[in-house]
Amino acid sequence: MSNVKQLREKQPENEKITINLGFVDLGRIDLLVQEGFYSNRSDFIRTAIRNQLDSHVDTVRTTLERHTMELGLRDYSKADLEALRDAGEVLHVKVVGLARIASDVTPNLALQTIGSITVLGALQASADIRKALADRIK
């Protein structure tokens, strides 16, 4: 068994959330699922969330511009951070979506190059990086 190697950790493509609904709302959702409008409760909830997000697309866009935030997936590699360090620059991470700090980034490199982290969505970073940057994560 010593010749078995894990090639890479599989990263989740989404984030699980929990919500509380009243029995009447839940029953209405179940009725729509039963009638075939949605394949299951999650399908209904995802669709409802997307519809709400679509109705606020202009607000999201102007807020992103005002805060100069990046939308979507943003990866920060060891090479990216080393280049910042070498240039004497400090990074202020502002992402709406998913921000990932590569697994080969050391806590020391992160401390030298990352001034603050604001993520609306999810941040994927090692426990050591999270601990080192705890006072910089908002």
Q: What is the pTM of this model?
A: 0.61
**Domain around 51:** 23-55
pLDDT of residue 67: 62
125, part of any domain: yes
Shared-domain flag, residues 63 and 101: yes
Which of 55, 77, 100 is the last residue before a domain boundary? 55
The Cα 133–Cα 117 span in angstroms is: 8
Shared-domain flag, residues 39 and 96: no
Write the CA distances from 107 to 34, 58, 124, 132, integer angstroms.
Answer: 51, 38, 14, 6
pLDDT of residue 4: 55
Selection from 69, 79, 90 nearest residue 136 by Cα: 90
Shared-domain flag, residues 30 and 45: yes
pLDDT of residue 16: 86
pLDDT of residue 26: 95
Shared-domain flag, residues 73 and 131: yes
The rounded average pLDDT for each run of 10 residues, N- to C-terminus, in the chain (138 residues) is 55 82 96 97 95 91 72 94 91 93 97 94 96 95
Helical axes 57-67 vs 41-55, angle rounded to 10°: 70
